[in-house]
Structure 1
């Protein structure tokens, strides 16, 4: 996950390049077999005598990093696996194994409402970047779209996937377009207005994300490959181990992919249009820092460019806000 200013990355430990003139490996952070991240790794929020759930601000400053836990709340009776901020940063959505999505006010991490229409665990949750819309995907093979201001019931339910829907995303400037992928690697484009599927193709089975702002590219992950889809053109970026997550920086110029053993940052070229800890990575100096953050696997991270807040969702059933 890129920071709010796009200058560094924030990762959780839960990413071979094919020759192409438009694709370039910009940075690479590899792990050793023991899990360390080179000699310049510092633990800067150390364990102390406070209770594990003590949310008093803790901060250390070193090598240009500052990070403080602001709020922490038990968000579910089961694992929390996804989270995302609204475009204005005032709301946070989370979802997980209890089949529910929860909307939170970010100023105090108090719940606004709970969405309960899915019949199986929720895999992804995304706010529209341009409209008060929220979408959720689920192991029940469906995608649901909600009114984020009045989410009493879903506005649309998209059916058609024959397998669990693993991820989804809104197009950044086409308000009517939403995209989803399932466990069979099938990607579908949906029209929110008429509720129909407008395109089906293969390419992603773990996570997909549209390029911010322009939306020309769609990044989709499957096994150890990231596919960059541009209409009929596909670029393939690879790792040696399965990829867990992919994200764009706010400008849409860089793409980060995270696997079991590495984090890689890619650029599409200057001519284009358009574990239970957190790790902060200074890309310019290739330095990282690790902070103990949760008591279970961190399944998702989200960052708000509007407020600078970072959210983490974990298998320990907690959601936390950081800055």
Structure 2
């Protein structure tokens, strides 16, 4: 603005003369141009004052210098020619300086423009990054809202599930209470049923005793009346009494006397009426509640083994059952073998010439077989089952002849007693029961404090093994435990020697224990071997028929045989079983040993 004022003043102080009109017109146009430039510059300064402040300052100076140069030139043109030569050089010098200054200013203007463009690019990038950040922030905000909505929904679902869980927990508590009440009622009903059966058995026993005493009294009366009556004996029907009897008839009479035992020495005992009465008495006795036939009552003599032979090799390996085998037993004649497993059947095998051939299959059990036993005559077979019962078969019939029910849990052991028509069972319900086969009823119950795993029978006593590491001896006459023998661990099986002098027990601590029963000290010997391991809670071990060896199957699939007198391992029979051996049986003839396992295999071993 100062430059503009100076130029105006210069124009107004021009020298007087007639030639001043043209310069004045030029000065007006110059002033109009300046005002326009100033107006634009002010407008630009208002818009970009901070950015172009330096440029405006330099440009204003340039305009001032340019205006001064034009004023000087105009003054010079109005001066006399004499002064033009002197001032021309100075004007040219000033013009060069102005051009130089103008170039520098233009260069600075270009540089500033480039810096402006760079800053504008940076500003655009910042705007773009700001937009991207705003977009990301918007997405994150939306995701946060969605997550909050999801959290609220999950909380609602959790609240509903918690309410359902509380309701289910309450129903479960009610169901458990009802179950406990049902178990209590079931226990009471079972006790009532057992009590009723015991009462029924006692009433039946009393009735049978009264009938027996009545029959005996009636028979005594008939015998007394027959003894008082006179009987005429014909010569053809009676034995000759004269000395002229032939030797042949005497030998026949002697043989008859040896073959039959006379109940009465009186001649009246041969009366047809007495014989018919005695015959009818025995027939009535057998027609009662007996499930045994006359042939079963006869005790067939059983052979004994003088010397058992230690097996050396496998004679036959076969898949005896469709599932695992739990029990194996030889008959008293050693020519018949029985196996029972979890497939709910018992299979009978004939042993001939060192091989096993299938003879028959006995079914009727609803669950797996746990134990097998032959009667001394070899005509019947008894089995314990998981279905809480014991079953009795005749060997000529595949249908069970008798089913003994009364246990509340699985039956783990079933044996024929030394008394005729009696069997003993042991169960997981911690009871031992004595059964009368003639009446198909339980006549004695012994409660135990532990799970019964196996049992054997001796004269007037029952020996049972339990999971509380004890062996108990029960007297059947006093119905009580008379002795407790400690064991090394959980008892899995028991076996008694043929002379009833030694008891073998197999325990879960991988040890066999042999106890002397006839000595008060109950001396015992333990048998162990490297590699032998009791495979399950029902592993069965046996004594050889002569009592010289012990045999048991191991979890590694091998049969271990010990010498009973020395305690040393006699032999080990490997490589035939691929799984744990569950039971071993030794034939009464001493020739064969059979081992069975959980993988359906049965192996026949012998020494030849």
TM-score (norm 1): 0.75
Q: Tell me the residue number matched to 2:515.
A: 266
How high is the TM-score relative to the length of structure 2?
A: 0.41
Pick from 261, 278, 283: which aligns with 2:559? 278
**Displacement of 1:105:** 0.6
**Aligned counterpart, 1:92:** 337
- The answer to whether the 8 Å contact 2:314/2:603 transfers is yes
Q: 2:398 aligns with which of 152, 171, 186?
A: 152
For residues 197-216 of structure 1, the C-alpha deviation after alignment (integer angstroms, 9 at most, x for no partner) is: 111112461111113xxx33
Q: Which of the two has higher C-alpha Rg?
A: 2
Question: What's the secondary structure of 2:452's corresponding residue?
Answer: coil
CA distances 1:279-313 after superposition (whole Å, capped 9, x unpaired): 11112222113221411111111112135322111
Match of 1:53 in 2: none
Contact 1:130-1:175 within 8 A present in 2 as well: no
Q: CA deviation at 1:65?
A: 5.0
Contact kept? 1:7, 1:283, Cα under 8 Å: no
2:500 is the counterpart of 1:252: yes
Using the TM superposition, name which of 233-242 and 138-147 deviates more: 233-242
Q: Which residue of structure 2 lines up, in the alignment, with residue 238 of structure 1?
A: 486
Return the offset for 1:163: 0.7
Q: Deviations over 1:258-289 (max 9, x none)?
A: 112211110112589xx121111112222113
What residue in structure 2 maps to residue 188 of structure 1?
433
- What is aligned with 2:601? 318
Residue 230 of structure 1 and its aligned partner are, at CA, apart by 2.6
Distance 2:568 2:488 in 1: 22
- Rounded to whole Å, the distance in 2 between the matches of 1:120 and 1:106 is 27
Aligned match of 1:176 = 421
* CA distance in 2 between partners of 1:205 and 1:271 (Å): 25
Structure 1: give runs of 5+ residues left out of the alignment.
9-63
Larger relative contact order (CA 8 Å, sep ≥ 6): 1
Superimposed CA distance per residue, residues 100-150 of structure 1 (whole angstroms, 9 cap, x where no aligned partner)? 1111111231111111211111111111013511011111111110112x1
The reply on whether 1:81 has 2:323 as its aligned counterpart is: no
Question: Quick check: 1:123–1:139 contact (8 Å CA) kept in 2?
Answer: yes
Structure with the larger helix share: 2
Give the CA deviation at 1:7.
8.2
CA distance in 2, matches of 1:120, 1:297: 21
CA RMSD of aligned residues (A): 2.2
SS at structure 2 position matched to 1:206? strand
Does 2:422 match 1:140? no
Alignment CA distance shift 1:320-1:151 (3 Å): farther
More strand by share: 1
Whether the 8 Å contact between 2:325 and 2:597 is mirrored in structure 1 is yes
Whole-angstrom distance in 1 between the partners of 2:516 and 2:431: 25
Task: Identify the residue that residue 568 of structure 2 maps to in structure 1.
Answer: 287
Residue of structure 2 aligned with 1:304, choices 587, 591, 604: 587
- Number of the residue aligned with 1:221: 465
Deviating above 6 A after TM superposition, structure 1's stretches of 4 or more consecutive aligned residues are none
Quote the offset at 1:90 in angstroms. 1.1
Counterpart residue number, 1:27: none
Contact 2:307 2:590 in 1 (8 A): no
CA contact (8 A) 1:6 1:250 kept: no
Distance 1:255 1:154, change over 3 A: same
Alpha-carbon displacement from aligned partner over 1:55-91 (angstroms, at most 9, x marks no partner): xxxxxxxxx9552322221011211010111110111
Aligned residues: 258
Structure 1 residues 96-115: aligned runs within 5 Å: 96-107=341-352, 108-115=355-362
